[in-house]
Amino acid sequence: MSETRPPVTGIGLDCQNRCAHYSSALDIISIKMRCCGIYYACKDCHEALAGHPAEVWPPDEWDQPAVLCGACGKEITTAEYFACANECPGCHARFNPGCRNHYHFYFAKERDQAV
C-alpha cells in the first residue's frame, strides 16, 4: 500500500519542499500551521499565501503531527522534532539546525501558552 505525502504550500517549491525563502540542502522540513492545518514550507510562504495571521502551537498540542520531512514525507510531532537532534527519525536526513532560531514563529514557549 503506498502512502501519500501531505501536500505542502509554498513559493517555488522543489521536490523536497525547499522554497524561495529557504533553499539550503538542509531546509527540508515543512510546518503544519496551527491556524489552518496546512503544511507550509516556511512562515514567509504562509504570510504571502494564506491570507490570515499565523498561530503558534502551544505546548499542550506538541503531541500532534506538525512537522513534515521533505526527504521521506514522515510527519512528526513537535515533541519528536525537538528531540530528533536535527535528523529525521524516519530516514535520517539532516535538518537545518538554524531552524531553531525561528521556533518562536511556529511553537509557543512552555511559559508563554500562546494564541
> Looking at residue 114, what is its pLDDT?
43
Contacts of 67 (CB under 8 A, 6+ apart): 29, 30, 31, 32, 75, 76, 77, 78, 80, 81
pLDDT digit string, tens, across residues 24-43: 999 999 999 999 999 999 99
Mean pLDDT rounded to a whole number for the chain: 93
Does the pLDDT value for residue 66 go beyond 50? yes
pLDDT digit string, tens, across residues 67-103: 999 999 999 999 999 999 999 999 999 999 999 999 9
Q: In terms of DSSP bridges, do strands 65-69 and 39-40 run parallel, antiparallel, or are they unpaired?
A: unpaired
> Whole-model pTM?
0.91
> Looking at residue 3, what is its pLDDT?
67
* 39 neighbors 8 (Cβ within 8 angstroms): yes
